[in-house]
Amino acid sequence: MSHVNLAVSEAAFGKLVDKLTENISFSKTDGGDFGPFTASYSAGVRFEGGDIDLKDSPDEVVINELDVIYDPLSLTVGIDIPEICVGGFCIIPNPFGGCILRAPRICLFEGDPDASFTLDLGGLIESEISGGFNVVARYFNNPDHAGLTDHQAHEQDKANEWQFFLDPRWLDLDIIDISDTVGNILDGIIDAIVDDLLGGLPGWAKDAIRFVLGGLADLIRGILDIGDDIDEWLSDLLGVSLGLFDFILTFIADKLANENPVFSFEDPYPMLPTSGNLIPVLLPIRNVNPDITNVEFVMTADVG
Amino acid sequence: MALTDHCDVFASFHEDGFNRIVEHIMQQRPSLFNYATPDLVQSPDRLCERIVVHPAVSQAENPLIKQIDYLPIIGYDGPFGFSFGLQLTDLKIDFHPGNIINLPPQLNPPLSEQTLALTARACAGLSCPDPEFIERLIRLLPDPDDEKDKRDDSPKPPLNPMPYERLTCFCLEVFAVVKAVRQNGYLSLRLQGMEIKDILPAGLEDSIECYISTMLKLVVFPKVRIALEDLTFEITDYLSVEPTPISADVPFNPDVSKDQIAIFANLI
């Protein structure tokens, strides 16, 4: 029989996981060149909420609907519109050859990008993570402990530890909702870009461009490959093209599995604290085993 | 039945594990269990029982022995006293139901519910002085007639040990029945009864029992109380909990039964 049993109810384990996930966050900036346009994002991501469900056979901690909070999330897009020149045609031809008066030649969209805009998506995208995890106990050999006795390491906060991690078996990120306002904001931005790009041109030039290119707004939508479904476009851009959602999953999986234990304690364990000049009483803890049932998390261990 | 059916955090220690804890406490806090006069503090190898300590005790220059005064010779007003040592060793605990310690009949075995049995060896050693030294001391005693005018009659504690070859040692087997109680966030022990085996006459036995039980109550038990949160492996660093109130589902907290001690806590 094990010397020690420590059991934590499902509700209490949920609190442990809450504290754990609330302390995980990151900021990241990344981008890519996708030919006719470039895109980059700047994201701050943290996690909130979620429910815990413990399962037996196999042991699994299921985290359901952990909210991914984007705060902030800005998407910057640069658009390279194919260069187009209008005008330059002859208004008064010279009967002896050549041209007496030509219309001015105007070339547009020579830059790269020709236009850029930033979408502030903070609070406009709702996504959730769900996953199944095994609880694994690992022994952390604190590198700062080297050369110290266990008691010295304890006093200097450099003790070794038993740590319990959530090792993912499966992990999903679902986009729950992209606010309708994103479509309206994007439409407004594209209209503003069109006005900005063509604003200084004479009417005939605008007509000529419209004749050659069709509607500029439609052209921009085409360049960005925005179809009828803004949500799908945004989700693909952030998730597939820029890999943000994969990064979030990889990040949280690594944090939970390797960096942020759900629970840890020193080894040897301080059972009696320092008293005056007397050293603390430290207990070596051995044979640590985590177990999950349908209703609780149980740790068994022996006193060495 | 789940361990947390009626609480959020449950921690239990089997008596085998608790006895390992006791061993670690004895090895890392030896001065709680070993008492001796200054000469024996300087030469612990002269004590009746060898003191086994954790290396960290020496590294931290912690005392192995709690120093006590030389035992006075009643009526003698000189500078010499007896060297003396008292040690508690082989301390063991047996949680209800009793199956490790055979309690003596005076403690009404079997062990009653929610109690634990405790056994230890109390070893004492007294220095019996060299007779030649006593003879020399006799010659140095002041003339009783010179003592007539002595104003200060208050006893003075002896400052020096009388020379001796070795301590005269004896060990007593001590048995006790103890209750574990929760007090101000600590798990403490309360002595319910004590018995020392094979001492006669009864008055001597009672006196020694009284002395040792008082020592346990006033010295040892208060200093080995364990913070309840330290029994939960620092889970309370992560969760705010309070002891589960006594109820029909949790009639005892701590609960001493099934050869273990268990504590129950709820989320606040």
The SS3 call for residue B104 is coil
Rounded to a whole number of angstroms, the distance from the CA of B145 to the nearest CA of chain A is 50
**Calpha distance B11→A297 (Å, rounded):** 12
Helix H or strand E encompassing B123: strand B115-129
> HSE (CB half, 13 Å, CA atoms) of B187?
24
Rounded to a whole number of angstroms, the distance from the CA of B95 to the nearest CA of chain A is 13
Which among B2, B25, B239 has CB closest to A281? B25
Buried b (16+ CB within 10 A) or exposed e, A95-123: eeeeeeeebeebebbeeeebbbbebebee
C-beta atoms of A15 and B233 within 8 A: no
C-beta atoms of B14 and A4 within 8 A: yes
Q: How many CB atoms lie within 10 A of CB B113?
A: 11
Instruction: Tally C-beta pairs within 8 A across A and B.
Output: 124
User: Of the candidates A281, A276, A270, A272, which has an alpha carbon nearest to the alpha carbon of residue B57?
Assistant: A281
Task: Say if residues A130 and A174 touch (Cβ distance below 8 Å).
Answer: yes
Mean of per-residue pLDDT scores for chain B:
92
What is the pLDDT, as a whole number, of residue B34? 97
**Is B227 in the A-facing interface, judged by CB distances under 8 Å?**
yes
Rounded to a whole number of angstroms, the distance from the CA of A293 to the nearest CA of chain B is 9
Which among A11, A265, A293 has CB closest to B267? A11
Task: Say if residues B115 and B177 touch (Cβ distance below 8 Å).
Answer: yes
**Is B73 in the A-facing interface, judged by CB distances under 8 Å?**
no
**Calpha distance A137→B115 (Å, rounded):** 34
Q: For residue range A142-201, what is the model confidence (pLDDT) as tens digits?
A: 999 999 999 999 999 999 999 999 999 999 999 988 888 888 888 888 888 888 888 777
**Calpha distance B13→A304 (Å, rounded):** 13
In sequence order, the β-bridge partners of residue B87 are B34, B123
Q: Work out the angle at residue A67's Cα, subtended by the Cα atoms of residues A63 and A68, and round it to the nearest 5 degrees.
A: 115
For residue A92 the two structure tokens come to 């008064």
Report if pTM > 0.80: yes
**Is B29 in the A-facing interface, judged by CB distances under 8 Å?**
yes
Task: Say if residues A7 and B3 touch (Cβ distance below 8 Å).
Answer: yes
Residues 6+ apart with CB under 8 A from A38: A31, A32, A77, A78, A80, A113
Which residues of chain A have a Cβ shorter than 8 Å from any chain B Cβ? 1-9, 11-12, 15-16, 19, 149-151, 263-266, 269-273, 275, 277-283, 293, 295-296, 298-299, 302-304
What is the pLDDT, as a whole number, of residue A225? 87
Rounded to a whole number of angstroms, the distance from the CA of B178 to the nearest CA of chain A is 20
C-beta atoms of B17 and A302 within 8 A: yes
For residue B140 the two structure tokens come to 């140095």
Q: Which of A160, A275, A281 to mutate to test the interface with B (most CBs of B within 10 A)?
A: A281
Least reliable range by pLDDT among A12-16, A209-213, A218-222: A209-213
Write out chain B residues lying below 8 Å of A266, CB-based. 234
What is the pLDDT, as a whole number, of residue B198? 81
The SS3 call for residue B140 is helix
Please report where in the chains the tokens 């804890």 appear, as a residue.
B21
Q: Which of B6, B10, B264 to mutate to test the interface with A (most CBs of A within 10 A)?
A: B10
In sequence order, the β-bridge partners of residue A127 are A68, A175
Task: Say if residues A131 and A55 touch (Cβ distance below 8 Å).
Answer: no
**Calpha distance A50→A64 (Å, rounded):** 5
Q: For residue range A70-90, what is the model confidence (pLDDT) as tens digits?
A: 999 999 999 988 888 888 889
* ipTM for this model: 0.90
Task: Say if residues A154 and A144 touch (Cβ distance below 8 Å).
Answer: no
C-beta atoms of A5 and B3 within 8 A: yes
Rounded to a whole number of angstroms, the distance from the CA of B84 to the nearest CA of chain A is 24
Write out chain B residues lying below 8 Å of A15, CB-based. 238-239, 267
Task: Say if residues B116 and B256 touch (Cβ distance below 8 Å).
Answer: yes
Q: For residue range A237-295, what is the model confidence (pLDDT) as tens digits?
A: 999 999 999 999 999 999 999 999 999 999 999 999 999 999 999 999 999 999 999 99
Rounded to a whole number of angstroms, the distance from the CA of A174 to the nearest CA of chain B is 29
**pLDDT of residue B155 exceeding 70:** no
Which residue in chain B has the smallest CA separation from A155? B60
Q: pLDDT category, B158, cuts 50, 70, 90?
A: confident
For residue B104 the two structure tokens come to 């003596």
